[in-house]
Amino acid sequence: MGLVVSLALCNSGSAVADDAFPAIPEEAPTIELTLRSAAAPEPALKYRFVRDLNERKPGNAVPYYYRAIRLEREFRGGDKPEFAEKWNSWLETKPKDLPLAEVRAWLNARQSLLHELRTAVSRERCDWDLRIQDIPGREAIAFLMAEFQEARTLARILQLEAKLAIAEGRHADAIGTIRDGFQLATEIDRSMPILITNLIGLAIANIMRDCVTELIAAEGSPNLYWALQTLPPQMFDMTSSMDLELDLPLRFLPFLRDAETAERSPEEWNRLLVEAVREVDQLERSNNMSSREASVTYRLMATGLVMKSYPFAKRELLASGFDAARLERLPTAQVVAIFALRCQKHARDELVKWNHVPYPEARVGLERSMAQLREQRYLGPPLPKRDPLLIVSLLYPAVTNARTAIANGERSHAALLVIEALRLHMAENDGQLPRTLADIKTVPVPLNPATGKPFAYRVAADHAELYVPPADGRVHQNGRRYVLRTGK
């Protein structure tokens, strides 16, 4: 009984009719899997992707993570060059096609690393003791987080271990390894309130979801619906990180914080603007100017900035109700600083507010806010009138993409739940697929959290299709088209 499920990331509580099934973009990757009937395990939570609290041990995970990272570096340094190519190829190879003896030997040589990693994920707490919010702006941007980047490599080692377990039919071992990977993802995500660690954690979780997909396709694999449900539906919350990163301009240029109340001489305000120009320029690009050349250049740039921005800033502040008499007394550089501060706060809040709204509505609202900020010249190009120091244009646009990345991950998780719900239905219906997802009565079938709408699903003569689109509806390479064929 052959079945194909074509899936490009979208969830469903009911199916759409064939004539309503969307055209799947060519860019959407196709993943072919074999679906086999699989009832829920007994007991239902026999398998979990979250370690039970009773299994956790006292202590801090971080020292063990550092030991695992150190050992990984040592192993990597001792590997022959050809092993780097083999290692990468193994990660792209299906479990059944792995050179098992070679992979087993490679992993056996790294048992000390895996021991440290398993010790880490079994600890009760994980405190990296890193407060990036205490690090000044430019230092925070340049903050090197090699340990977090190298956590991806640890995740890849777990991925290979899971592949080997799947290939050898050790499904419980594979589930345990995947569980450890999800724990690693969570602890990297929560290490610091900064988007880069959120995104590294998300990348690790996506690696583990790939392992889940391979396990689902393995002959005799248990149903993972309830194991997947043990993971929180929103594993990654970037609200604090977004708040911190959108506040970077004020940490980067701290004199802006009290721009409206500080009493400084005109000379001091001019000096601070020169310093601001230098900081922003060095953040945006490196240069080879001598210190003397740089000093002259930045003074000229700051002078030009004030001359260009002051008239517009003054008009805007007056229009907003700023006291006219006081405005006339303020140094021109301070007027520009006050205007820059107010514009930064407005732009920040126009973006941050959407973090408190579910993604389907937030995506639309965030796109509208970004369009308005560009139209109103808070963001460039062209040069933004309402961002005289260019700090909003430089730091904000990339930040807004992170919410979509999180939504893509949540959508992928829900898609796996749909596939396992299909296998549960097959187990209760002589291996038959449901005509629609609404026909599945055993368990709830999730909607697509990225859209709030059902998955598009249909059954053809010899296959079923389930389409899961990209969260933003545009970058179709982030979609999936799963082709799943039934097997005994």
Q: Is 178 inside a domain boundary?
A: yes
Q: Is 128 inside a domain boundary?
A: yes
Residues 361-370: what's their mean pLDDT? 92
Asked if residue 286 and residue 202 are part of one domain, the reply reads no
Asked if residue 282 and residue 197 are part of one domain, the reply reads no
Mean confidence (pLDDT) of the chain: 88
Asked if residue 89 and residue 209 are part of one domain, the reply reads yes
Asked if residue 279 and residue 191 are part of one domain, the reply reads no
Q: Is 35 inside a domain boundary?
A: no
Q: Residue 137 CB: number of other CB atoms within 10 A?
A: 19
Q: What is the pLDDT of residues 88-115, one digit of tens each?
A: 899 999 999 999 999 999 999 999 999 9
> What values do phi and psi take at 464, rounded to 5?
-120, 155
Cis preceding-peptide flag for 233 (omega within 30 of 0): no
**Better pLDDT: 213 or 384:** 213
Last residue of a domain, one of 352, 369, 388: 388
Share of the chain above pLDDT 70, in %: 92
> What values do phi and psi take at 279, rounded to 5?
-60, -45
**Better pLDDT: 139 or 417:** 417
Give the list of residues 6+ apart from residue 387 with CB closer than 8 angstroms, or none.
340, 343, 344, 347, 377, 378, 379, 380, 393
Asked if residue 153 and residue 285 are part of one domain, the reply reads no
Last residue of a domain, one of 354, 388, 422: 388
SS3 467: strand
Asked if residue 264 and residue 118 are part of one domain, the reply reads no
Which tokens hold the place of 125?
């707490």
Give the list of residues 6+ apart from residue 290 with CB closer than 8 angstroms, or none.
none
Which tokens hold the place of 275?
């310093």
Q: Is 120 inside a domain boundary?
A: yes
d(CA 202, CA 190): 11
d(CA 335, CA 331): 7
pLDDT tops 60 at residue 9: no
Q: Contact, 338 vs 260, CB < 8 A?
A: yes
Asked if residue 192 and residue 117 are part of one domain, the reply reads yes
In which domain, by residue range, is 139 found?
48-221
Which tokens hold the place of 238?
């970037």
- The separation between the first and the last C-alpha atoms of the chain, rounded to the nearest angstrom, is 8
Q: Is 301 inside a domain boundary?
A: yes
Helices (H), 21-145: 62-78, 81-91, 100-108, 111-121, 137-141
Q: What total of structural domains would you count in the chain?
A: 2
Q: Contact, 306 vs 314, CB < 8 A?
A: no
d(CA 33, CA 485): 6
Residues 69-95: what's their mean pLDDT? 86
Q: For residue 220, is it left (φ>0), alpha (ψ between -120 and 50) or beta?
A: left
Asked if residue 174 and residue 267 are part of one domain, the reply reads no
User: What band does 420 get if pLDDT is binned at 50, 70 and 90?
Assistant: very high
CB-side neighbour CA atoms (13 Å) of 223: 27
Which tokens hold the place of 371?
């369009």
d(CA 103, CA 156): 13
Asked if residue 189 and residue 263 are part of one domain, the reply reads no
User: What band does 279 get if pLDDT is binned at 50, 70 and 90?
Assistant: confident
Q: Is 449 inside a domain boundary?
A: no
d(CA 420, CA 423): 5
Asked if residue 195 and residue 265 are part of one domain, the reply reads no
Q: Contact, 195 vs 399, CB < 8 A?
A: yes
Q: Specify the DSSP class assigned to residue 313.
A: H
Give the list of residues 6+ apart from residue 68 with CB closer than 8 angstroms, or none.
113, 116, 117, 120, 154
Residues 156-169: what's their mean pLDDT? 98
153 vs 79, 206, 226, CA distance in Å? Answer: 15, 13, 28
> What values do phi and psi take at 53, rounded to 5?
-60, -35
Q: Is 235 inside a domain boundary?
A: no
Q: What is the pLDDT of residues 104-148, one digit of tens each?
A: 999 999 999 999 999 999 999 999 998 887 877 767 766 767 888
Give the list of residues 6+ apart from residue 445 with CB closer than 8 angstroms, or none.
11, 12, 13, 417, 418, 421, 437, 438, 455
Q: Bridge partners of 278? A: none
Name the most confidently modeled range: 196-205, 294-303, 469-478: 196-205
Last residue of a domain, one of 321, 354, 388: 388
125 vs 53, 141, 145, 348, 380, CA distance in Å? Answer: 11, 27, 20, 33, 44
Q: Is 6 inside a domain boundary?
A: no
d(CA 85, CA 104): 17
Residue tagged 């430019």 (tokens) = 138
309-321 b/e (C-beta count within 10 Å ≥ 16 → b): bbeebbebbeeee
Asked if residue 185 and residue 59 are part of one domain, the reply reads yes
Asked if residue 323 and residue 184 are part of one domain, the reply reads no
